[in-house]
Chains A and B, each alone.
Chain A
Amino acid sequence: MKARTRLALFAIPVVGVAALLLWSFAGLPSFGHYRGPYGNEINAQAVPRRHTTNAVAAVNFDYRGFDTIGEEFILFAAVMGVSALLRLQRQEHKEESPLEHARAHASTEMADSVAVVCMGLVTPFVLLGLYIVVHGHLTPGGGFQGGVILASAFLMVYLAGRYITFRQLSPKGLLDAGEGSGAGGFVLVGFVGMLAGAAFLENVLPLGQSGKVFSAGTLPVINLSVGFEVGAGLLLVMWEFLEQALMVRS
């Protein structure tokens, strides 16, 4: 096909799509003028009905909790896929395990200043991660964000040049268990609703007083399990990548 023909074939749909896009933009509600009923409805209902001050958490883990289970299992499947892809291939061989290599090269090339900053960030990251997970139903954040922050605390240990410590802090069996039980915990909370004679994932636990840590029924429980799943899952991916990227040669 000639370049000119190709360009002509390309131009026709481009003009069409551009025209349709402009047409649809012209029909959009103006910026900041939300027209749908759901946002205002949820803002009005979240505190009196669910006793949560974070309406986003109420939407994610309660009103449309079933969708969030699907999203969580997307992450779960992605982590499993990465682990499967990065496992030791048959034609590859380990020259030495990363742990042995790290032991043999005890002095790392990391600058002292980087190591000090990274080690100093570990504790704040752990605290911040736990805070974000535990207060997911009160303030912005939740299991997903907190889980990633928790995982990055472990990453800081690695960045400080302490690969051996990183390995000791995150044993693979524990990560596997944490990821699996975190993902399963969410579904279990859903079945608790059914056991209580309500719908799957219905918020049947006592709602408590709005604004307190122990409130909003199932929301903090789900946040905790999601935090476990995301934190352990991300660490697992990092673990596999480091194992591979550091040592294995094909």
Chain B
Amino acid sequence: MIGVLQGVAMLTVGIFGFAVVLNRDPLPQAMVFTFFGGSLVVLFIVLQAPDVSLSAIVVGAMAYPLMTVLTLAKCRGRSR
């Protein structure tokens, strides 16, 4: 059976995932994505998968937003 905590964690992932899709502008999307990544981290902790949780932290909070922001900076630099 799904516990209350697990259900809330999954629901949060769903809500933030939906929010990421609703944002069409890449820069706000990258910011919302960090929240989505954070909710995934919580979900993996709740499901007792600390290894995956650590990976989710480094990818969702660090690597992915960094790449997005740097790419945006590069694109805007070119169009200027």
List A residues at the B interface (Cβ < 8 Å): 30-32, 54, 56-57, 132, 140-142, 144-145, 148-149, 152, 155, 234, 237-238, 241-242, 244-246, 248-250
Contact = CB atoms under 8 A, between A and B. Distances in A.
A237 B1 contact: no
A75 B2 CA distance: 36
Contacts of B80: 249
A234 B63 contact: yes
B70 A242 contact: yes
8 contacts: A142-B51, A148-B59, A148-B63, A152-B62, A234-B63, A238-B70, A241-B70, A248-B77
A245 B74 contact: yes
A145 B55 contact: yes
A249 B54 contact: no
B14 interface: no
B11 interface: no
Interface string B47-59: 0001101110111
Contact of A144 (B55, B71, B74): B55
B66 interface: yes
B5 interface: no
Given A145-B54, A242-B70, A250 B62 contact: no
Please classify the interface of chain A as helix (H, G, I), strand (E, B), loop, or mixed, using the class held by over half of its residues. helix
Nearest to B3: A32
A188 to B, nearest CB: 25
Contact of B58 (A31, A145, A246, A249): A145
B67 interface: yes
A241 B74 contact: yes
B63 A245 contact: no
Contacts of B63: 148, 234
Contacts of B2: 31-32
Contacts of A30: 1
Contacts of A242: 70
B13 to A, nearest CB: 15
Interface string B32-64: 000000000000000000110111011100110
Contacts of A155: 62, 66
A177 B54 CA distance: 26
B64 to A, nearest CB: 11
B78 interface: yes
Contacts of B74: 241, 244-245
B30 to A, nearest CB: 14
B73 interface: yes
Nearest to A152: B62
Contact of B51 (A54, A148, A241): A54
A7 B24 CA distance: 24
Nearest to A60: B51
Contact of B1 (A32, A57, A141, A234): A32
B53 A140 contact: yes
A209 to B, nearest CB: 22
A241 B73 CA distance: 9
B77 A245 contact: yes
